[in-house]
Amino acid sequence: MAATKSNCLLAQGDALAPSIARAAEVIRAGGTVAVPTETVYGLAARADSDSAVAAIYRAKGRPDFNPLIVHVADLAQAARLAHIDTAARALATSFWPGPLTLVLPRRADAGLSAAVSAGLPTLALRVPAHPVIRALIAATGLPLAAPSANRSGAVSPTSAQHVVASLGDRVDLVLDGGDCASGIESTIVAVRQGGGWTTLRPGPITRAEIAALLGAAHEVRAGEAIEAPGQLTSHYAPGKPLRLNAPAPAADHFMIGFGAVPGDTTLSAAGDLAEAAARLYGCLHAGAASSKPRIAVAPVPDEGIGEAINDRLRRAAA
Ligand code: AMP
Ligand code: MG
């Protein structure tokens, strides 16, 4: 079902090209466009403009200490914005385009708004795989800052309807490209000088995949300072009490099942973790919209992408 808002355009099939052309005009003029990526919907604006980046923070009600991910077409465009060392190049070559964000030293001549980095000397960069955001980057020729397209602290959007429900008229244009395939935000890895690496946020690219490339021995634990506010304890909040690891449905709870544990809906009846990641936010949105006062979720194994699912669930419950 397409979202029925005047500022929402279909961005599939024959509608793709004209919708991208319209969206590129909005971006060039410094406006905001909600756009599907393979992870979740992003709220995009040109990353080289202070006022465009400010419009993202304003629309989301996002605290200004929480920096944004900048989306680019390829490694060459990334290299004009940040310093890419051997380890970063290895990750980019293996996982771009895809759901991996690299936090790298920002180039002094990057020409980006300082606000995208929230004052940090680093820059978070990603080359997305989804055809709609790729078409928008190509049409504008600009690096696009794009956090998730929801009110700050709320559940991330995996459909255009979620965006319209959360941001409505606070966004200039919404591109409806259907449901997001991955459904969970990108893995964020900070690449340190000297080959060390730190996972700032677990995601679809697993720690094991990163370790296979850079070496498990080079993993550095996250420091005391908050480097990725996605690490804040409370995030992704559905607006109702959320009970984790529920072994069975209980009265008063909207039950989200997994595997053999049934529910009002399920992350994956087959117990498939990739399917569970893709359905996670949709299930939380459904729980938030239901008449039941509480939400409960069945146990999800903490392996592979299950680590990212449990990370999001813990923060949603906090
Ligand atoms: P969102 O796109 O809303 O999922 O949020 C982007 C995530 O990237 C947040 O958790 C940010 O804290 C993180 N991030 C963006 N830039 C940086 C940076 N320079 N250093 C560390 N984390 C960053
Ligand atoms: Mg977010």
Phi-psi region of 243 (alpha: psi -120 to 50; beta: other; left: phi over 0): beta
pLDDT of amino acid 42:
98
Q: Which atom of ligand 1 is nearest to the CA of 122?
A: 19
pLDDT lower than 50: segments of the chain: 1-4
Atom of ligand 1 nearest to the CA of 147: 2
Q: Give the per-residue pLDDT at 1.
A: 42
Check residue 244 and give its pLDDT.
Answer: 97
Q: What whole-number distance in Å separates Cα of residue 230 and Cα of residue 202?
A: 10
Residues at CB less than 6 angstroms from ligand 1: 66-69, 103, 117, 120, 122-124, 147-148, 185, 188, 200-201, 227-230
Output the CA 312–ligand 2 centroid distance in Å. 11
Cβ neighbours of 41 (radius 10 Å): 34
CB 158 within 8 A of CB 41: yes
Distance CA 180, CA 178 (A): 7
SS (H, E, C) 176-199: ECCCCCCCCCCEEEEECCCCCEEE
- What was the pLDDT predicted at 5? 55
Please give the number of the atom of ligand 1 that sits closest to the Cα of 69. 15
Q: What are phi and psi of 156, to 5 degrees?
A: -70, 150
pLDDT for the residue 63: 86
- Can you tell me which atom of ligand 1 is nearest the CA of 117? 19
How close is the Cα of 230 to the center of ligand 2, in Å? 7
Report how far ligand 1's centroid is from the alpha carbon of 190 (Å).
Answer: 10
Q: Give me 228's structure tokens.
A: 């990725």
Distance 206 CA to ligand 2 centre (A): 19
Per-residue confidence (pLDDT) for residue 223, from 0 to 100: 65
What is the Cα–Cα distance from 130 to 160, expressed in whole angstroms?
15
Residues spanned by CATH 3.90.870.10 within the chain? 5-218
CATH fold for the domain made of 5-218: DHBP synthase (3.90.870)
pLDDT at 226: 57
For the entire predicted model, the pTM comes to: 0.91
Position 54 scores a pLDDT of: 95
Q: Which of 239, 237, 42 is nearest to 144 (CA)?
A: 42
User: Which secondary-structure segment (H or E) carries 188?
Assistant: strand 187-191
Q: How far apart (Å, rounded) are the C-alpha atoms in residues 215 and 199?
A: 13
